[in-house]
Structure 1
Amino acid sequence: MNEEAHAGVDGRRMFGVVGLVALSVMAMVIGLPGHAAAEPNPNPASIVAESVQPAGELDLAVRSTAMRRNMTVKVLPAKGDRPAPTLYLLNGAAGGDGGSSWFDRTDIRTYFADQNVNVVVPMGGAASYFTDWQHPDPVLGVQKWATFLTSELPAVIDRRLDTNGRNAVAGISMAGTSVFQLSLHAPELYQALGSFSGCAQTSDPLGQAVVRMVVEGRGHGNTLNMWGPPTDPAWRANDPYVHAASFRGKSIYVSNGTGAPGRYDTIDGPGIDGNGQKLFDQLAVGAVIETATAECTRNLQRRMREVGVPATFHLYEGGTHSWPYWQDELHRAWPQFRAVLAR
């Protein structure tokens, strides 16, 4: 299923729920991690299988002690002859399944071809918020994404590639919240954070409703297994809006469209390719979701100004919740990230 419109059966189910949220002011989508610095793992993750694609792209199977399974990770190794930084790109609520990953829907292969950066895309994590769940879930299983992404995987990548120890993380939609939460979980790991069409509020009643919409409505998991009941401190501990001051010193890029039809929302647009149903979903569901995340993004912008945290905010006219806009935003964010990662 494509991330941009949450099309098909899941998309229509979410549309009904989002419609209710919109009655309040339509304001959310997505969530992630936990607090405290990542603890060293006594049983480090390791690469158990690797294949090299024709263009040098690596497909890795990484055995995760925390997740208790092999994790699929796709990598574009840096082309330079010197140690390179690493850019982690997180997929949205579909976890990259069904052709909804950065590799499937954007030009990262060509865009980063001449850049001295390792690009790493973990696969999986649908409806997980890429956080460490408190309990295994009957449907979604063991979810220890914060540990995997901040402790296990970076160590694996640093051992396998010629890295310089500097990292950035960027994500779309659900993961647009997760990038902040992962930084809360491991404050020293990332020098740059990118959030495209995310919602950085998780602990207020409306934010909790949106998290449940993603985890339970879409993923059929149970948020009680993730962060506990609504009164559990974990909801607030994972709220980037509440902890906005914690991101001081990071290079931050946040973007969002208005939800109104934009230049890619046409019958011949990228990913639409003449399919009327896809266009309808993008204009209906995708518009409502983007309108909601726009409200969250404006709230985060105000909050960061209040606490004096410098950040780049790009609030563009038009644009639904869809991949072509996120590709553009990655292109806009990368020069800012490249500058801080090269220091």
Structure 2
Amino acid sequence: MLAPVVALATGWAGTAHADPVAPASIPALTAAARPAVDGSHLVNVVPEAGRMVNMRVYSAAMNSVITVKVLRAPDHSKPAPVLYLLNGANGGVDESSWTEQTDIAEFFADKQVTVAIPLGGRGSYFTDWRTDDPVLGRQRWSTFLTRELPPIMNSTFHGTGKNALAGISMAGTSVFQLALDSPGLYQAIGAYSGCAQTSNLLGEAYVTAVVGRWAGNAANMWGPPGDPAWAANDPYLHADRLRGTAIYVSSGTGLPGPLDTLDGPGIHHDPTKLASQLTSGSILEAATNQCTHHMHDRLTQLHIPATFNFRPAGTHSWGYWQEDLHNSWPLFSRALQTNPPRLNPTPAQ
């Protein structure tokens, strides 16, 4: 049973016109920013294409500067809730990230929400580690994401105080853990192809393999296997505390699906990429699918409402996660009480 786990280490209608972020608006954002209580603060904001900006935040907990890509809400004059999107095990530091692999700019063009995508946290499970790791360094992601970043985001981008959180793969575990770590911070969470159960034999092997892929030592995170910290951080065991949070969970079976083709998203007719998606991507998704069914049974047992989307096919890959984001947005929107932005329609040609 453990052999496959080791392989895991591997509605507003109409067209809106949203102006790109003007460099002149950056000083206003910087002036609005307020530090967190521990001294974490905004370092700077740099405009990118369209409504995207690069935000650099000093984390006092990690004593380092973290980059957060932010897609501003379309109507800058109105408050907006924040949707945090977490990347997978590589932390989104290369092309495997929400900004590079999905259509978030187009999808959120007419939705009054600010989207924040932190970069970094490779192999960290976005949690607070017990000790610094010789390779991965200081990991205090739970503190950063739940206590340091939100007040800075809300002051800089006119937040409403309502938040949602979604993540893929490794972060599909983290979204549950972060919601448990900071009750009431997130009105909704979404876990796409994740594994919430972490303290049984299979879960410990899964986590150890994912951390080890980046040469990290999971014992520096929660201690050696069997340490009480593993159970303390297991969302499956503490699922009763998720009551009141809107929950969306999804996974495929690992069998080849409609997006696992040469012309599928991100493949670009590359047979090597497709072969990888159909091998390691299939193994990963089959394993997370098992975890997802366990979490479904647990929440059903506890009579906690949740939306589960079990796809009959599909691998561990971005095309399906983009669909998951689209499919979970109505649940997020209701929880965040978003309203359509008031924007000028695109002029007729």
- Listed as ranges, the gaps of 5+ residues in structure 2 are 11-34, 339-349
Is this contact kept in 1: 2:5–2:202, CA < 8 A? no
2:79 to 80, 83, 91: 83
Query: Counterparts of 1:272 and 1:54 in 2: how far apart (Å)?
Result: 24
- Listed as ranges, the gaps of 5+ residues in structure 1 are 1-17, 31-39
Query: Counterparts of 1:307 and 1:313 in 2: how far apart (Å)?
Result: 15
2:246 to 248, 251, 254: 251
* Pairwise CA distance, 1:56: 2.5
Please give the per-residue CA displacement for 1:155-185, whole angstroms capped at 9, x wherever unaligned: 1101101111000000000000000000111
Is this contact kept in 2: 1:241–1:303, CA < 8 A? yes
User: What are the within-5 Å matches in structure 2 for residues 59-78 of structure 1?
Assistant: 59-78=54-73
- Aligned partner of 2:265 in structure 1 is 270
- Aligned partner of 2:150 in structure 1 is 154
1:120 to 112, 116, 119: 116
- Aligned partner of 1:177 in structure 2 is 173
- Aligned partner of 1:98 in structure 2 is 94
Is this contact kept in 2: 1:245–1:308, CA < 8 A? no
When residues 22 and 157 of structure 1 are mapped into structure 2, their CA distance, relative to the original with a 3 A threshold, is closer
User: What are the within-5 Å matches in structure 2 for residues 1-343 of structure 1?
Assistant: 20-21=3-4, 42-80=37-75, 81-216=77-212, 218-342=213-337
Is this contact kept in 1: 2:41–2:57, CA < 8 A? yes
Over 4 Å off, 4+ runs: none
Q: Which residue identity does 1:191 align to in structure 2?
A: Q
Please give the per-residue CA displacement for 1:66-121, whole angstroms capped at 9, x wherever unaligned: 01100000001111242111000000001002201100000001100111000000
* Pairwise CA distance, 1:29: 8.2
Is this contact kept in 1: 2:195–2:292, CA < 8 A? yes
TM-score by length of 1: 0.88
* Pairwise CA distance, 1:49: 1.7
Number of positions where the alignment pairs a residue of Structure 1 with one of Structure 2 = 313
* Pairwise CA distance, 1:54: 3.5
* Pairwise CA distance, 1:267: 1.3
* Pairwise CA distance, 1:44: 2.6
Please give the per-residue CA displacement for 1:223-275, whole angstroms capped at 9, x wherever unaligned: 11100011221101111111111111011000001100001101121111111
Is this contact kept in 1: 2:36–2:149, CA < 8 A? no
Larger radius of gyration: 2
Higher relative contact order (CA 8 A, sep 6+): 1
- Identical counterparts, % of pairs: 51
Q: Which residue identity does 1:194 align to in structure 2?
A: G
Query: Counterparts of 1:92 and 1:86 in 2: how far apart (Å)?
Result: 19
* Pairwise CA distance, 1:43: 2.3
- Please, which moves more after superposition, 224-233 or 195-204? 224-233
Query: Counterparts of 1:247 and 1:158 in 2: how far apart (Å)?
Result: 24
Q: What SS does the corresponding residue of 1:235 show, helix, strand or coil?
A: helix
Q: What SS does the corresponding residue of 1:332 show, helix, strand or coil?
A: helix
When residues 116 and 42 of structure 1 are mapped into structure 2, their CA distance, relative to the original with a 3 A threshold, is closer
* Pairwise CA distance, 1:19: 7.1
Is this contact kept in 2: 1:29–1:199, CA < 8 A? no
Query: Over the residues paired in the alignment, what is the CA RMSD in angstroms?
Result: 1.8
Please give the per-residue CA displacement for 1:177-205, whole angstroms capped at 9, x wherever unaligned: 00000011101100000000000110011
* Pairwise CA distance, 1:22: 5.9
TM-score by length of 2: 0.87
When residues 313 and 255 of structure 1 are mapped into structure 2, their CA distance, relative to the original with a 3 A threshold, is same
Q: What SS does the corresponding residue of 1:98 show, helix, strand or coil?
A: coil
Is this contact kept in 1: 2:36–2:151, CA < 8 A? no
Q: What SS does the corresponding residue of 2:304 show, helix, strand or coil?
A: coil
